[in-house]
Structure formats: structure tokens, C-alpha cells
Amino acid sequence: MKFFGNFVEKRKTYLLWVVLPTLLVALYFALLASDQYESEARFFIKSGSDSSRSQAMSGAALLSSAPSISEEVTLSVVDYLQSYDAIRHLREAVDLPKVYNRPTFDVVSRLGANSTDERLRKYLFKNFGMVDAYVDINSGLGVLKVRAFSPADANAISKRMLDGADKLVQEFSQRAEQDALGLAEANVGKAEEALVEQKTRMAQFRASKSILDPERTSNTMTDLLAGLEQQRAQAQVDLTSALRYLDKNSPRIVELQRQVASLQAQIDAQKQTLTRPQGSLANTLSSYEEMRVRTQFAEANLTSALTSLQRARDEAARHHLFLVAVVKPNLPQESEFPKRIVAILTVFAVMNAVFGIGWLILTGIREHVA
């Protein structure tokens, strides 16, 4: 006992500053520290242009394609996973104060009574590191690690956070698609309005002229005029032939002359209808043709706008972003935290270093005074 007393007396300062804190930490981790379970997930972002290719990929191929991920989007997702938005999304489905503040947990690692968003963010992401999100520089994958005091809670929180990240990626895609499709859709709307307006004008024009189809009417009248001219020519031939052997006052000659004159009168009337300056069918047809050309132009413009819209949709689909969980949140089987041995050895090493530095400083002061 005397030897033990002398040993303690000579080394009481070391025992007080190094051994005692290490012993207290060891007792805490051995008797009080609650087990913590970690659920890990790994993900990357891919675009729609990679969909068909990625469906045939194996897991190793997916990993090898990870470096081609948009770094900007991946970093944005990682930032989201450590933000207030992620906490609010979590709280909609998970009772975080209950998960991290049960009476069975040790007081040191417990959340505590204050469960504001600010307190939760410090607890989860900073002070206790219950949630960690980062980009693996070797694979380019986003990594999410969630710790909780039960395997089910760690798994549920990890899944919920990935769900929020996926919604964020979808919002990115929707905004990009709206920007890409907005102008194309506006052009289609204008082209449709122009075509409807032009067709309305054509309908009103037909109604005002009482003609269903001016072009068909013109063709019909032209064919009729050609038929009358053919009949007149035939009658004129018959008249000329008859004058060779009949008297010009004979009934046959008189009848043929009357027939030629009648056909000529019909031909003149038909030509006047087609070519008179005001209200002629020729003028009507000219106005109708102009409207028809404008309508065809409007139809071509609409077709072009629809083609551009489809091209914009295809382009947007190729750039649509998806969050792919390469490693889905696991349900941990064993507690990995706290790292009891590592923590005890760390405390011991730090206290030894502090004690050594203090001893050197104190020795230097004494020598200086002496």
C-alpha cells in the first residue's frame, strides 16, 4: 500500500490530467453511450439521353459512368441534403425530436428539448454529425450517411432525404423544360391563331360572295364557255357547208344563222360574267387565291412551329435529370458508432500531448526563474 501511495503521490499530476479524464471517457462509452446505427446511400444524376443506355448497364458500368455526372447538379443536391429545406422535408414525415430525444438515450448525444430548425441543423450536420453528405472525388458519386439510435430510424431518414433530393432534381428539370418549351409553345399558339383568323376570313368571303368554292365555280364556267365555243364552231361549219348548195333565204340557212347567233350571245354573256371590271368572277377568284395562299402559308407556319415544339420536347427529354440510387439506403445490422476504442485512445493521446506541452512550459519557466 505504501508503494502504491508513493506511486500515486509522485504521479498525481499526470493521473489527474491524463489518466482520470481518459478513465471518465472510458466509463462513459462503456456504460452510458448509446449505440448508433448508420445507413448509407450513394447516388448520381443522369439525363434522359442516357436512359436507354443505362438500362442495359450493370452496377459496375453505372459506377464507371459516374464521373460524367453534372457536377453542378450533384453539388446542389449535396448542399440541399445539409440545408433547412431538407430538415423541413424530413419533419413532414419523421418526428425528429422523438427519434433523437428518447429517454433511453444518453444525455450527451441526445437532441434535447429545443427542436427548432436551427437546433436540428446544428445537431444533425455539425455538432454530432448525424447526417453527412458529400461527393466522393474518386467515383464522382454523391454519398449520404445518416446515423440514428435505431436501424429503422436511420433507414427511414435516409430514404426520406433521398426522396427530397429526387424532388429537387425534378424541379431543376421542370424549370429547364419550361424555359426550353416556353418560346416554342408560344410560337405554336401564335401560328394557330393566325391560321384560325385566316380561315375565318375565307369563310366570311365565301358567304359574302355566295360561292362555296370560287375556284371550282370558275373551272365550271370556263368548261361551259369552252363547250359553247365548240358548239358555235360546229354550227358555223354547218352553216358554211349549207350555203354551198342552199339559198341563203332558205329555212335551213336561217335556222343555222339563228343558232350561231344564239351561241355567240351565250358566249359573250359568259365572257362578260368572267371578265367584267366590277364583281367579276375573275376578281373574286383573284381575291380568293390570295386568301388561299395566305392560308397555306399559315398552315406551313403552324407545321413548322409544331415541328420546332416537338424538337424542343425531344431536347428537353434528353436533358431531363434523374436521381439514381446506385446504393440504396441500407438497414444496418450492427452498431458502428460511437467508435469507443478510437475515442478513448484519442482522448488519451490528446491529454498526453497537453500534459507534455504543459510540463515543458512549466519546466522552462522554472529554469528561467532560477
Task: Tell me the C-alpha distance between 321 and 50, whole Å.
Answer: 10
The dotted CATH code for 182-318 is: 1.20.1500
**DSSP-derived 3-state class of residue 44:** strand
**pLDDT tier at 69, thresholds 50, 70, 90:** very low
Residue 308 near residue 187 (C-beta atoms within 8 A):
yes
Boundaries of every domain in the chain: 35-178+320-341, 182-318
**pLDDT tier at 16, thresholds 50, 70, 90:** confident
Give the three cell numbers for residue 26.
472510458
Least confident of 25-29, 129-133, 265-269: 265-269
Question: What angle (nearest 5°) sits at the alpha carbon of residue 148, between those of residues 105 and 346?
Answer: 75
Relative to beta strand 131-135, strand 37-47 is unpaired
From the list 140, 314, 281, the residue with the least C-alpha distance to 211 is 281
Task: Tell me the C-alpha distance between 54 and 63, whole Å.
Answer: 11
Residue 323 near residue 219 (C-beta atoms within 8 A):
no
pLDDT digits (tens, 9 = 90+) for 283-306: 666 666 777 788 888 888 888 888
**pLDDT tier at 4, thresholds 50, 70, 90:** very low
For range 192-205, the mean pLDDT = 79
Answer with the residue of higher pLDDT: 87 or 267.
Answer: 87
For range 128-135, the mean pLDDT = 87
For range 175-182, the mean pLDDT = 76
**pLDDT tier at 155, thresholds 50, 70, 90:** very high
Dihedral angle computed from the Cα positions of residues 26, 27, 28 and 31, in that order, rounded to the nearest 10 degrees: 120
Residue 147 near residue 131 (C-beta atoms within 8 A):
yes
Residue 202 near residue 291 (C-beta atoms within 8 A):
yes
Task: Tell me the C-alpha distance between 176 and 76, whole Å.
Answer: 15
Residue 68 has pLDDT above 80, yes or no: no
For range 166-176, the mean pLDDT = 83
From the list 68, 57, 42, the residue with the least C-alpha distance to 321 is 68
For domain 35-178+320-341, give its CATH number from 3.40.50.1970, 3.30.950.10, 3.30.1890.10, 1.10.3720.10: 3.30.1890.10
Residue 144 has pLDDT above 90, yes or no: yes
Per the listing, cell 459496375 goes with 60
pLDDT at site 56: 44
Per the listing, cell 369563310 goes with 203
**pLDDT tier at 203, thresholds 50, 70, 90:** confident
Task: Tell me the C-alpha distance between 13 and 19, whole Å.
Answer: 9
Task: Work out the burial of residue 175: count CB atoms within 10 Å of its CB; fewer than 13 is exposed, 13-18 middle, 19 or more buried.
Answer: exposed
**pLDDT tier at 319, thresholds 50, 70, 90:** low
pLDDT at site 199: 80
pLDDT at site 158: 92
Least confident of 84-93, 206-215, 354-363: 206-215
Least confident of 123-127, 323-327, 365-369: 365-369
pLDDT at site 3: 47
Residue 181 has pLDDT above 70, yes or no: yes
Verify cis geometry, omega within 30 degrees of 0, for the bond prior to 338. yes
User: Going edge to edge, which strands form the sheet with 321-327?
Assistant: 131-135, 142-148, 37-47, 321-327
Residue 62 has pLDDT above 50, yes or no: no
DSSP string, 98-119: HHH--TTS-TTTS--S---HHH
For range 65-90, the mean pLDDT = 77
Task: Tell me the C-alpha distance between 194 and 305, whole Å.
Answer: 12
The crossing angle, in degrees rounded to 10, of helices 151-209 and 71-80 is 120
Residue 2 has pLDDT above 60, yes or no: no
Name the helix (H) or strand (E) containing 144.
strand 142-148
Question: What angle (nearest 5°) sits at the alpha carbon of residue 144, between those of residues 131 and 344?
Answer: 50
Residue 228 has pLDDT above 90, yes or no: no
What is the chain's mean pLDDT, rounded? 76
For range 356-363, the mean pLDDT = 82
Task: Tell me the C-alpha distance between 370 and 368, whole Å.
Answer: 5
Dihedral angle computed from the Cα positions of residues 291, 295, 297 and 298, in that order, rounded to the nearest 10 degrees: 140
**DSSP-derived 3-state class of residue 326:** strand
pLDDT at site 145: 93
- The pTM (predicted TM-score) of the whole model is 0.59
pLDDT at site 218: 57
